[in-house]
Chain A
């Protein structure tokens, strides 16, 4: 149980285009989903936290107009990188948690999406 999928697993796009990445919890309802970015040989950096049905909370330094997050249902969150540029090339990973916080909630990670912007 507790499987999280991401689609696509990799994507190559031209500079200036927008890319949408989907994160799905396959066998549980995820009240909270997290989006991370990881550059080579670096740690996972939390970009934003999204709760179903409400606006995402972005970390300091993350442009919310560039990285649009939608958490429309308890099993799906999407990250759209708008007007992508080469510096946005990275490994994007989502995770899902069963409840919205207050006590420890295990996060289940997706397999990641490799974005390359040419």
Chain B
């Protein structure tokens, strides 16, 4: 069956360090993978999209990698700040328009 897995436990890191979040998937061949940020009681906010033919994408302090052989995406936040504390979701494009979301990883950046 198709599955998307993210670290289910919360990730606590010290301010200034790099946070690395993992998204693993099985039985998918997604053309696109997205990362979202979700704050408590709010809808997801789009951060980055990476295509299957791209290895890496960057946006300011964010970096996403996409390894279709390992079926894994890594999401990095460099120089993390307490304001980066949130739940981060990965989502895969299934078919032509439908996105399937992972359960998310809660990140807490400690001051």
Contact = CB atoms under 8 A, between A and B. Distances in A.
Interface of A: 4, 6, 32, 34, 36, 41-46, 49, 91, 93, 95, 97, 100-112, 114
Interface of B: 4, 31-32, 36, 41-46, 49, 51, 89, 93, 96-104
B89 A44 contact: yes
Given A93-B43, A109-B44, A112-B41, A43 B97 contact: no
A103 B51 CA distance: 12
Give chain A's interface secondary structure class: strand
Contacts of A106: 46, 49
A115 to B, nearest CB: 13
B43 A109 contact: yes
A97 B97 contact: yes
